[in-house]
């Protein structure tokens, strides 16, 4: 039961970090820098958010599989 709670906290933490990276990606679009730099920063943060969401989904699947 404790591991189920821990995985739930990990999943939430990863989702929050992914949301923060999406917000940073949006901020990068409006930064006072060149278009190339803004796009590079945007792509970096979107990619990181996608990786974190994938890890959160994987963790959630493992916790459901382990509880059954």
Q: What CA–CA distance (Å, rounded) separates 62 from 66?
A: 6
Angle between helix 35-67 and helix 2-29 axes, rounded to 10 deg: 170
Residue pLDDT tens, the chain, 68 long: 455 566 677 778 999 999 999 999 999 999 999 999 999 999 999 999 999 999 999 988 887 775 54
């Amino acid at each position: 039961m404790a591991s189920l709670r821990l995985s739930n906290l990990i999943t939430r933490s990863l989702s929050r970090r992914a949301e923060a990276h999406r917000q940073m990606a949006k901020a990068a679009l409006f930064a006072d820098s060149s278009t190339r730099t803004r796009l590079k920063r945007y792509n970096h943060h979107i990619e990181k958010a996608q990786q974190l969401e994938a890890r959160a989904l994987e963790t959630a699947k493992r916790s459901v599989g382990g509880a059954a």
